[in-house]
Structure 1
Amino acid sequence: GRRVAGFFCDYVPEEILWAAGLTPIRITAGRGNVIAADKHLQSNVCSFARGCLDQALEGVYDYLDALVIPHTCDVITKMYDLWAYRLQGPSFIHYVWVPHKVFDPDAVGVMSGELKRLKKCLEEWTGAPIQDSALQEAIQIYDRSRSLLKRVYELRRTDPPLITGQEAFAIALSALLSPKDLFNRWVEDFLAERESKPSILERRPRVVISASVLDDLDLVRAIEEPGAWVVADEACTGSRYFWDLVGEVQGNPIPALVRRYLNKLPCPRSVGSLAPRKEHLFHLVRDYQADGVIFYILRCCDAHLFQYPILHQRLQSAGSRILYLQGDQTVGVNEAVVNRIQAFVEILQE
């Protein structure tokens, strides 16, 4: 019975949308030839953005009641213009200005103003105030989801893991597309069953994925079918989405949300993001006992491509085996990519 709000990127404060009576779902790119969107976008736009816009132009997202788009990369920013003026819908479209210098003290005031503006605009649109108690309840629901997802990922720290990478990432993706209260109950039941059982999987080489965006299981499946396990990921639809909690809230919830979204695991669109991304990747490789790292970066995703050589060098110097793959979100994992993955897995198996 809740209205549905689409959102781009994990810098959107979903808790405010939930407190306003909306169910947030993440916009995804889908698969197939992009035709309609190419009339509006230049050729050097990433396939993720092109796929998302193409689906919107084809009517896939006509069911949305609201849409919130943050200032992340320039292309996602352009989605706001195209969605608002070319598609002329849904009835509520809002743009959140996220500072690039997320770790700068001045960013706190900017982000605080943006979240207050989002809250006010939602109140005007829905005709109902968003109470602090509703925000606090939303934070508890979302922090519960984040904690549960971390427990799901913990199931792969053992060797062999208790669940496959496909199972874990399917759960992570479902968190982006499900009402969080229902999601929490389902994952609690899943964990109650799986945490108490020994692993039935065989020992295999262990891989961490670092990706710009993944919104299906194709890549994980292509890695696991030849004989490896995907034990963790550093992706905006994976660990970067849920790794950091809001935490305990006293009084006004807005400052707590500001802290969380500015200090979360950063996207490379943010100034100063390289060091925390490197630290997180090293943590995943070490704690999840990874034998190799696969970078899957969409063509034309300049922010990720800019940081890749440094991350590659640091990980390789620490002894990790690296595979770089150029991705196309609308095509998926093609035969050439599958062959390169198979060769990499064979190297890890030696």
Structure 2
Amino acid sequence: MVFDSFAEARKNGFLAMKKLKDSGKGVVGQFCTYTPLEIFMAADLVSVSLCSTSDETIPEAEKVLPANLCPLIKSSYGFAITDKCPYMYFSDLVVGETTCDGKVKMYELLGQTKNVHVLELPHRQTTPEAKALWRAEIVRLIERVEKDFGVAITDEMLKEAIRKRNMERRLLKEVYELSTMCPPPISGLRQLQILFGAQFKFDWQEKVEEIQNAIDSIKEAYENGERPIAEKAPRILITGCPMGGVTEKVVKVIEDAGAVVVAFENCTGAKQMDRQCREEGDPITNIADHYLNIGCSVMTPNPNRFELLYRLCDQFQVDGVVEMTLQACHTYAVESYTVKTFLKERNIPYLHLETDYGTSDIGQLSTRAGAFVEML
């Protein structure tokens, strides 16, 4: 199956990562969509997402961290201190960012055992001061990478990395835009497997070829009459916290209720794939501007999220929006009221689901998702 490679990418990537590390490749682990991957690509390093999506190590993390902290933070820290995450284990440098207070303090603890660099992310996007600070942070990260890995990163290297990342973003955007069709050619779970799994494929050329093959296979099956989704299935967009791993349960309960998830506005989906990085001009400024304009709830105000959200609702002809927030993710939890009001003014039905990395709430999630889909 075309999806199997992506569905198993995180697990299978462990061996690929070890081979790369054994061959002498430098590895950078990162947590957030705001981290500019072009810098690591320009330095010929391997980059990998370290956000953990399992409750397996949370009990260990809670020996140090408070129990009422975001599960993503606790899980990530737990995998780090137990050495149960090969990606964290193999990372020569771990890059964090000041998106939320919980992460910042976790990075402080993580720095006691790992080589950690924290990006100072401004929480405004349009002021000259915020833009200047963020550009300076990009320069500081470049200097850190050059120092730690003994490389010199030129403007030409950065421009080539921007070009390659733009190609990757275009292909992944093409994947999820297939679901603008009615009925969509794949389920939301299949779409998420590709979007989430792609970040654990470390050979860029092979990755873009696999994504293109997936696109071609999906189109061919559709043209041959394969219709895995019912034409009348309500079309759902998911917004909110990052998706993947255990949080796939939210997608499953929605689709088990008879709907189909056609789009993800989250970090895993359109939030990072929707726009291209400018290729002409100063590459450092282009990278800084591109990443600073990501519409995350940590930004205040946050117009870019709402512009994208409404555009996706229109483009994908959604019947309803489900917001998934992780427990104790305060910025998304607070902004959920604004999202609800924004969608209500546009007559778009909205459901807010709060969850964690456990499975004990699946029954409750199923009940609420089922009632929402039935209402549609």
Q: What does 1:1-350 correspond to in 2, within 5 Å?
A: 1=20, 2-33=25-56, 34-59=58-83, 60=85, 61-85=88-112, 88-89=113-114, 92-179=115-202, 180-196=204-220, 197-198=222-223, 200-201=227-228, 202-203=230-231, 204-216=233-245, 217-250=248-281, 252-264=282-294, 266-273=295-302, 275-331=303-359, 334-348=362-376
Post-superposition offset of 1:151: 0.6
For residues 146-187 of structure 1, the C-alpha deviation after alignment (integer angstroms, 9 at most, x for no partner) is 111111111000110122211211111023222243321111
Question: Structure 1 stretches (4+) deviating beyond 3 angstroms?
Answer: 330-333
Q: What stretches of structure 1 of length at least 5 have no aligned partner?
A: none
Q: Hey, what's the Cα distance between the residues in 2 that align with 1:333 and 1:114?
A: 40
For residues 199-258 of structure 1, the C-alpha deviation after alignment (integer angstroms, 9 at most, x for no partner) is 5132111101112121223221221122111011221122112222112233x4101101
Post-superposition offset of 1:330: 4.3
Q: Which residue of 1 aligns with 2:7?
A: none
What is the TM-score with the length of structure 2 in the denominator? 0.86
Q: Hey, what's the Cα distance between the residues in 2 that align with 1:260 and 1:73?
A: 20
Q: CA RMSD in A?
A: 1.7
What is the TM-score with the length of structure 1 in the denominator? 0.92
How many percent identity over aligned positions? Answer: 29
Post-superposition offset of 1:27: 1.4
Post-superposition offset of 1:303: 0.5
Q: Hey, what's the Cα distance between the residues in 2 that align with 1:177 and 1:159?
A: 30
Post-superposition offset of 1:63: 2.1
Q: Does the 8 Å contact 2:98/2:119 carry over to 1?
A: yes
Q: Hey, what's the Cα distance between the residues in 1 that align with 2:116 and 2:275?
A: 27
Q: What stretches of structure 2 of length at least 5 have no aligned partner?
A: 1-19
SS where residue 116 of structure 1 aligns?
helix
Q: Hey, what's the Cα distance between the residues in 2 that align with 1:347 and 1:40?
A: 44
Q: Hey, what's the Cα distance between the residues in 1 that align with 2:142 and 2:345?
A: 46
Q: Which amino acid aligns with 2:375?
A: I
Q: Hey, what's the Cα distance between the residues in 2 that align with 1:223 and 1:286?
A: 20
For residues 83-137 of structure 1, the C-alpha deviation after alignment (integer angstroms, 9 at most, x for no partner) is 111xx12xx4211111111221222211111111111111111112112222112
Q: Hey, what's the Cα distance between the residues in 2 that align with 1:191 and 1:146?
A: 13
SS where residue 320 of structure 1 aligns?
coil
Q: Does the 8 Å contact 1:157/1:288 carry over to 2?
A: yes
Q: Which amino acid aligns with 1:253?
A: P
Q: Hey, what's the Cα distance between the residues in 2 that align with 1:205 and 1:44?
A: 35
Q: Does the 8 Å contact 2:293/2:304 carry over to 1?
A: no
Q: Does the 8 Å contact 1:269/1:303 carry over to 2?
A: yes
Q: Does the 8 Å contact 2:26/2:149 carry over to 1?
A: no
Q: Hey, what's the Cα distance between the residues in 1 that align with 2:374 and 2:149?
A: 56
* Corresponding residue pairs, total: 341
